[in-house]
Structure 1
Amino acid sequence: MFEFYVGLAALCLSLLTMGYISILAIQFTLIKQKNTERAYDYHRLQTVIILFFHLVAYTVLLYHYEFEYKVIMIYLGQIGLILLSGHIVNLYMSKTILPLWSIGQFLLVISFILLGRLSINLGLKQFYLSCLAYVVVFAVVFLYSRMNFIKFLGVPSIILAVVLLVMTNETINGATNWMRIGSFTFQPSEVVKILYIVFLASTLTQFYEHEKLSLFVTGTITMGMVIIQVYQRDLGSALIFYSVFILMSYVYTRNRMYIIGGTIMTMVGGFFAYRFFWHVRVRIDTWIDPFSDIDNTGYQITQSLFAIGNGGLFGRGLTLGLPNKIPVVTTDFIYSAIVEELGLVVGLGIIIMIVYFFLFGIQMVEKTKNDFNFLMGSGILIIIAIQSFLIIGGVTKAIPLTGVTLPFVSYGGSSLVSTFIMLGILQGIKMNEDRQYKKEMLRKKEKLMDQMLLDEENCEA
């Protein structure tokens, strides 16, 4: 009976995912047609779908954990967080990017469900981290929308970024990219990503008239950071920084040669890295043929492929898979666990949601008139897109595995908080632009009133 209900729940979760994606498509079309008010009307329906998705999944988990008191309290706490955060977003945030908040919330709910299934204690920790993330993101929105001097913080940002990179002192899963302070550990690279975007946007904006010089300076510093991360064996972050610089250079100059040149340099750099770095060679060889050493270097990726293959269209059902056999399943390989238990429909749904996150963000960013905000928004969207591509491509063997987290979904405070900060910056950009627009309209109105008064005085004279 339980397995029948789990299968029925899996089908329901797939249908809810498809319904949610259909609404995203409708919203995107309406906003593109500038019918924004009608697009916002769908936001409440999205929230209902998210809550129902969460309810269906947790009925399975409640039965699986025999209605344990802790599981019930976690479920109620997560419902409270979803409703409270959604209420604050509806009241105080710009409606233009409501779809971004909604996508982030749906992906977070999927994270709650999978982590709660893997370990109820991990689910509880992720809930606490999410509460912290929402507090931080609302503070970021308030500060960014009012702090116009951020565009002058390029140099302090990159100095702090480099300091954080070189201060890593903990090796986890083969990469020395963690910092331990007492019992507390975090990944500095998650904070460094945001500081790096501030540096790029600030430098490229302030030295716009010296295009080649600004690109040379930012490129040199970028290569230095990439070298540090390769040395620390944090290949995922190194590739993200390099890719962001190439794509930001294109956004900044509109010159396609930067993309072509960057691609060629990537191939050349990859060849030399393969020749001279043992850990790079192992990852490439494992990507090409993971089954040749299935019990050692190929174990991670083969277990990931087995899990994805076992999932099928609608999944084996929540709690019926074997996700704990996948190494590092809560962070790097959480997507594989999702596909195994929730199915290919939900897995593809996550990819489509991330694509729509990028597209909705582009719709907002391309309308910004401030160059710094435009580059900041572009950089954030590029980071989220590249990071998602690297991890999903890696666990499905489409590209070599680099070991990064899936935005909004993977377990971990560093990743979750930094992703929400980036969402908050996007919201702050929009609010900053709206405030500047209102000031400009007010100045025009005052100027028009002054002109009218002057005309009346001239007529009386």
Structure 2
Amino acid sequence: MNKKIITFLDDVCIHIKCKAVHKDIRDELTNHIYELKEEYANRSPDEEKALEMAISAMGNCDELGSRLNKQHKPETEWSLIGLTAIIAVIGGIIMYMSSMFDSLQAVSFERYLFFAVIGMGVLAGLYFFDYTKLKKLAFPIYLITFILLLFTLYKGATFNGRSFLTIGGISVSSDYVPIMFLAAITGFMEKGRGKGGMAVAGILSLALISLIPVIALPNLTVAFVLMICYAVLIISSVIKNHFGGYRKLQLASLGGIGILFISIITFGIISEPYRLERISSFITRGQSDPSGAGWQQVMADKWLSASTLFGKSAETVNGYSIDRGMPGLTTNYVLINVIATLGWVVGIALVLAIAVFIGRMFVTTRKIKNAYGFYLSLGACTILSAQFAISVLINFNLLPLTDISLPFVSYGGVGYIANMALVGIILSVWRRNNLISGSHKKISQSKNRFISFEDGKLIISFK
């Protein structure tokens, strides 16, 4: 490369603090210098003079470098951090109050704080982490997670009919699985870019295989959340023609597989009488079996009715205080705990904060330029949103009871850390949104170039 060009590029890049974008900027500036040189060469036979004119037309290197530095600064999505903090603080308050229960539902606030601090540390670590490094680790992550699940299934400890991974005498739930398989599947999607229907079939197969050990544990809630995540990722990528090929055929095939899958699940439900009883109980809000399958739903309605606008309800239900008369107060029914302990105003504020948080996640994800980052962030948004939505609806008796926690609010260890990690991934992707090219094509061919050359004029846009 010509020494004058190298000197110009060095003088520009010295002002740009983010070294990760230096190569892209150098490539684009070089391309446009040569474009300008060709334009000026048509007017002057002296190539050296044409090159000098081209470099001069690029503008002052100090000013250009300063403006490019502003454009390529890491971004922070402060609204997501703030909303996460609000939801987590409400969770911390309710866990502190739950630690003072005079019943078996009392929790260890110290343990909660321990995992909360670890979760915040993981979030911060992932925020600064270069998420693109996960692309190359897709298969190792998938394989390790699958092996851990098999080990849990055959060698893990069993509690309440579910298997847990035991490490040094500590039982670890499978709540870590969604984030691991998310990293793997999005990596496979990136590798399958432009490879047509066979890539879709391969990724779908890997996704379905990953569900087998999760269902066998059994952890049907994690399996259900994963299914939602996979469906959103694969369908959205096909709609965007990420894989290329015959998009309509791919969508039709996915639709057929979806119908088959729903049919199998429906058959599994109606073939078990106890599941039909639970559905019947849900439809009648527990009134069809108030002393059996519908008891928790009945109690949930009673405690919601007994709660006041502000502060803790002084009422009892059936002669019991809330910690003795309402199960799952720190896990499945933690929102009822919030409403009954802190009042409806705080409960509604929490639900609104969750709704804004979900909306903000997807708005942020829509603006992500890099395809791999977009799908990684979309998957994280989907996993968190599914948990939030299902948990809130269950607490208001709008969905049948299932074992699911409210992220950042419910008492938990691995699940709390995993959900914080998902937020960290979204923040990490957004942080590098202006630092990573949105396409694998050459920069000079990108539609998002900050420099263009039209009608003999050099146009530099920092929008």
| Structure 2 match to 1:309 | 305
Stretches of structure 1 lacking an aligned partner (at least 5 in a row): 1-92, 453-461
Does residue 126 of structure 2 align to residue 131 of structure 1?
no
Three-state SS of the structure 1 residue aligned to 2:108 is helix
Residue among 230, 239, 264 paired with 1:269? 264
CA deviation after TM superposition for structure 1 residue 231, in Å: 3.0
| Structure 1 match to 2:98 | 118
CA deviation after TM superposition for structure 1 residue 279, in Å: 6.3
Is residue 294–residue 302 contact of structure 1 (8 Å, CA) maintained in 2?
Answer: yes
Q: How does 1:329-340 map to 2 (within 5 A)?
A: 329-340=329-340
**Residues 231 and 298 (structure 1), Cα distance of their counterparts in 2 relative to 1, 3 Å cut:** farther
Stretches of structure 2 lacking an aligned partner (at least 5 in a row): 1-72, 101-106, 240-247, 438-442, 458-463
Letter in 1 for 2:78: L
CA deviation after TM superposition for structure 1 residue 363, in Å: 2.4
CA deviation after TM superposition for structure 1 residue 412, in Å: 0.9
Q: Distance in 1 between matches of 2:94 and 2:342?
A: 9
Is residue 387–residue 405 contact of structure 2 (8 Å, CA) maintained in 1?
Answer: yes
Is residue 170–residue 178 contact of structure 1 (8 Å, CA) maintained in 2?
Answer: yes
Does residue 85 of structure 2 align to residue 105 of structure 1?
yes
CA deviation after TM superposition for structure 1 residue 316, in Å: 4.0
Q: Distance in 2 between matches of 1:124 and 1:266?
A: 43
| Structure 1 match to 2:216 | 231
Letter in 2 for 1:235: L
Task: Output one character per residue of 1:26-83: Cα deviation in whole Å (capped at 9) or x when no partner.
Answer: xxxxxxxxxxxxxxxxxxxxxxxxxxxxxxxxxxxxxxxxxxxxxxxxxxxxxxxxxx
Does residue 183 of structure 2 align to residue 187 of structure 1?
no
Three-state SS of the structure 2 residue aligned to 1:300 is helix
Q: How does 1:75-94 map to 2 (within 5 A)?
A: none
Is residue 171–residue 177 contact of structure 1 (8 Å, CA) maintained in 2?
Answer: yes
Q: How does 1:175-214 map to 2 (within 5 A)?
A: 175-188=161-174, 190-214=175-199
**Residues 445 and 224 (structure 1), Cα distance of their counterparts in 2 relative to 1, 3 Å cut:** closer
Q: Distance in 2 between matches of 1:213 and 1:312?
A: 57
CA deviation after TM superposition for structure 1 residue 234, in Å: 1.7
Q: Distance in 1 between matches of 2:90 and 2:187?
A: 35
| Structure 2 match to 1:148 | 132
Q: Distance in 2 between matches of 1:297 and 1:404?
A: 18
Q: Distance in 1 between matches of 2:314 and 2:91?
A: 13
Three-state SS of the structure 2 residue aligned to 1:153 is helix
Is residue 110–residue 409 contact of structure 1 (8 Å, CA) maintained in 2?
Answer: yes
Q: How does 1:439-458 map to 2 (within 5 A)?
A: none
Letter in 2 for 1:387: Q
CA deviation after TM superposition for structure 1 residue 263, in Å: 6.0
Task: Output one character per residue of 1:181-232: Cα deviation in whole Å (capped at 9) or x when no partner.
Answer: 34412212x2211111112211111112224222222222332333333333
The CA RMSD measured in Å over matched residues stands at 3.3
**Residues 261 and 331 (structure 1), Cα distance of their counterparts in 2 relative to 1, 3 Å cut:** farther
Task: Output one character per residue of 1:305-354: Cα deviation in whole Å (capped at 9) or x when no partner.
Answer: 32222225446449986144222221111112112223333333323222
**When the two structures are superposed, what TM-score results if normalisation uses the length of structure 1?**
0.68
Does residue 278 of structure 2 align to residue 291 of structure 1?
no
Q: Percent identity?
A: 19
CA deviation after TM superposition for structure 1 residue 258, in Å: 7.8
Q: Distance in 1 between matches of 2:234 and 2:300?
A: 35
CA deviation after TM superposition for structure 1 residue 104, in Å: 1.0
Three-state SS of the structure 2 residue aligned to 1:180 is strand
**When the two structures are superposed, what TM-score results if normalisation uses the length of structure 2?**
0.67
CA deviation after TM superposition for structure 1 residue 419, in Å: 0.8
| Structure 1 match to 2:143 | 159
| Structure 1 match to 2:3 | none
Is residue 165–residue 177 contact of structure 1 (8 Å, CA) maintained in 2?
Answer: no
Count of residues in correspondence between the two structures? 352
Does residue 235 of structure 2 align to residue 250 of structure 1?
yes
**Residues 297 and 181 (structure 1), Cα distance of their counterparts in 2 relative to 1, 3 Å cut:** farther
Q: Distance in 2 between matches of 1:318 and 1:430?
A: 46
Q: Distance in 2 between matches of 1:153 and 1:318?
A: 54
